[in-house]
Amino acid sequence: METQKFGQIGLGTIGIYYAKNLLKAGHDLTVFDIDADRIKALEEIGASGATSAQELAKNSDVLFISLPNPDVAKAALLGENGVLAHARPGTLIVDSSTIDPNTVREFHQMAEGAGVDYVEAPVSGGEPMGAGIDGARAGNLTFMCGGTQKAFDRAKPIIEQCGKHVLYLGEAGNGAILKLISNLASGIYNLVAAEALTLASAAGFSPETVNQVFERSDGKSYTFTDYVMPRLRRLDFDEGFAVDLQYKDHRLVEDLARELKVPLPINSLAMQLYQFMRADGFGKKDYAYATKYFADRAHTDVLAKMEE
């Protein structure tokens, strides 16, 4: 493993920590991102920079991919200039992008035709206080993997350098399905937390008081106690899991539900509520910003009550 050349495409909010963890593990790592400043930041701590995804594909034995949506992932992997057209037979691709299962299956089929091992590996927070970017930084994420058993067995020890829980879920597409279902639940929990904290604030209670009650009652959720509350305490809404990405995941869930003929009325409402936030210019904020967004519209200052 030490002699293999590693590559990574996508150095966003989560992907940059995969790169840092791979460097920490001692790998020879080359990176590419459309943002040259992100490449430069990794070069400063030991990575090499590539000029294109194709260049990286040609020269990597193991290639991590972390991209924000299906369209960007397709642009990177497919076509005559895509990764799969230039990766050498025997290359291992670990794709942690959150995309739809049909796109994953297409990537898997194309990879098989090119003699490439493709493992989907979308992620979620796996430990207390380890959701989203915090889990990526700590290396304790949960990876939900799909693909052949052979490819997974090859990828697992590598993925474990970036996460703590590596689950094999069977054929390609299964990881994407369960990741989307997980984000369906967490996105709704986040909005429930926003409503609860807004109502409590209007009634005169601080978020900390609500948290004390919820930790010992049926209102408890991992999203509330381990994600929303820490960000409220830090007043930290600018780096994390963006509202734009949460909206995208609810939209992908809607597509999956339509395909399976499953009604999801709560998901549809959640999608519209995140769309309101995007329309008002908050798409780049962490999705925990929903609490302040809701409270502002109820004319109650939920953040001012943090110290009460």
Q: Of these residues, 20, 179, 292, 305, which one is catalytic?
A: 179
- Beta strands 62-65 and 92-95 are parallel
- For the chain, the distance separating the N- and C-terminal CA atoms, rounded to the nearest angstrom, is 53
Exposure b/e, 219-242, CB count within 10 A at least 16 = b: eebbbbbbbbbebbeeeebeebbb
In the residue annotation, 5 being an active-site residue is answered as no
Contacts of 295 by beta carbon, 8 Å cutoff, 6+ apart: 194, 197, 198, 201, 301, 302, 303
Q: What are phi and psi of 9, to 5 degrees?
A: -110, 120
CA distances from 84 to 6, 174, 252 (A): 16, 21, 24
SS3 240: coil
Residues annotated catalytic, as ranges: 179
